[in-house]
Amino acid sequence: MRERLATIAVQNLCTPAPFAMSDRALLPGGVIECAWDGARFDRRTGAALQAPAFDLLTRYDVRVAHGGVWVRKP
């Protein structure tokens, strides 16, 4: 099985407050919005796009290989 880059993951906690980003909305253009406080982030870079967010989300490289999903710490 060939190894391939699957995607990028971001941390699951919104930066302004500890709300789960997994409860988020995925908007056009690769933007994710926190369902709790409306903070918006670029899902590719983790950059904060809309207040109340100012700090970026931590990004993780994700690979699918050997029948598993591997997430690399930053």
30 or 74, greater pLDDT? 30
Burial letters 12-29, b for 16+ CB under 10 A, else e: eebbbeebebeebeeeee
More confident residue, 70 or 53: 53
For residue 15, give the CATH number of its domain. Answer: 2.102.10.10
Number of domains in the chain: 1
Burial 37-63 (b: 16+ CB within 10 A, else e): eebbbbbeebebbeeebeebbebbeee
| pTM for this prediction | 0.79
Q: What is the pLDDT of residues 14-56, one digit of tens each?
A: 999 889 988 878 899 989 999 999 999 998 899 999 999 999 9
- What is the predicted pLDDT for the residue at 7? 75
